[in-house]
C-alpha cells in the first residue's frame, strides 16, 4: 500500500496490484504482445543498463525520480495548471482516481525499459495549492 500526500491534506492511496504487474511485465518490451487495457494509463521510460545487471534499482529509480521531479519542473506560482508537455508522467503517477498500479522492467535489446501501469486513465487536472492555515 502506497500513501501519497496531496496538497489539500487529503491522502491518496494506491495499492500494488500483482495482476497489473504481470500485465506490465508482459508488455514491457512489446505492447502488442499483451495489450494494455484501454482503461489503464501507462508511463514508460528507457535507461542504459549500467553496472551489475542484477542490481537494477539505481537505473529504475533514476527513471522514477525523473517523473517525480516533473512536479517542480514548471513554476506554479502564477497558476497551478497542469502542463502535459512537462508534467505528463507525474500527472499520471498522482492521479487521484487511481487505486491500483504496478511497474515492471525488462531488458529490451541493449537497453532497459521500465513500464508502470495504473488502473485508471489519467484526466488532466489543476494543481490546487492551499496554505498551511486552511
Q: Tell me how far CA of residue 68 lies from CA of 13, 29, 51, in angstroms.
A: 17, 23, 24
Higher per-residue confidence, 56 vs 22: 22
Instruction: Say if 129 falls within a structural domain.
Output: no
Cα–Cα distance for residue pair 101/56, rounded to 1 Å = 20
Q: Does residue 131 surpass a pLDDT of 70?
A: no
- Mean pLDDT to the nearest integer, 14-21: 90
CATH code assigned at 38? 3.40.33.10
The angle subtended at Cα 68 by Cα 115 and Cα 70, nearest 5°, is 110
Please say whether the beta carbons of 95 and 41 come within 8 A: yes
Q: Does residue 129 surpass a pLDDT of 50?
A: no
Which tens digits make up the pLDDT trace of 39-80? 999 999 999 887 666 678 888 999 999 999 988 887 777 776
- Report which DSSP code applies to 126: B
Cα–Cα distance for residue pair 117/20, rounded to 1 Å = 7
Please say whether the beta carbons of 43 and 93 come within 8 A: yes
Task: Note the pTM of the prediction, 2 decimals.
Answer: 0.77
What residues contact 132, with CB distance under 8 A and at least 6 apart?
none
Instruction: Say if 131 falls within a structural domain.
Output: no
What is the model's pLDDT at position 133? 52
- Mean pLDDT to the nearest integer, 13-36: 87
Instruction: Say if 130 falls within a structural domain.
Output: no
Q: Does residue 14 surpass a pLDDT of 90?
A: no
Instruction: Say if 123 falls within a structural domain.
Output: no
Q: Which domain holds residue 16?
A: 2-118
Cα–Cα distance for residue pair 15/13, rounded to 1 Å = 7
Q: Does residue 35 surpass a pLDDT of 70?
A: yes
Amino acid at each position: 500500500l502506497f500513501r501519497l500526500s496531496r496538497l489539500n491534506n487529503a491522502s491518496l492511496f494506491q495499492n500494488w496490484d500483482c495482476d497489473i504487474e504481470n500485465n506490465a511485465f508482459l508488455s514491457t518490451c512489446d505492447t502488442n504482445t499483451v495489450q494494455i487495457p484501454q482503461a489503464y494509463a501507462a508511463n514508460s521510460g528507457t535507461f542504459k543498463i549500467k553496472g551489475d545487471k542484477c542490481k537494477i534499482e539505481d537505473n529504475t529509480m533514476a527513471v522514477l525520480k525523473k517523473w517525480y521531479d516533473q512536479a517542480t519542473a514548471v513554476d506554479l506560482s502564477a497558476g497551478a495548471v497542469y502542463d502535459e508537455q512537462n508534467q505528463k508522467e507525474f500527472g499520471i503517477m498522482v492521479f487521484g482516481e487511481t487505486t491500483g498500479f504496478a511497474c515492471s522492467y525488462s531488458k529490451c535489446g541493449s537497453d532497459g525499459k521500465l513500464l508502470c501501469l495504473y488502473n485508471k486513465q489519467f484526466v488532466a487536472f489543476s494543481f490546487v495549492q492551499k496554505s498551511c492555515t486552511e
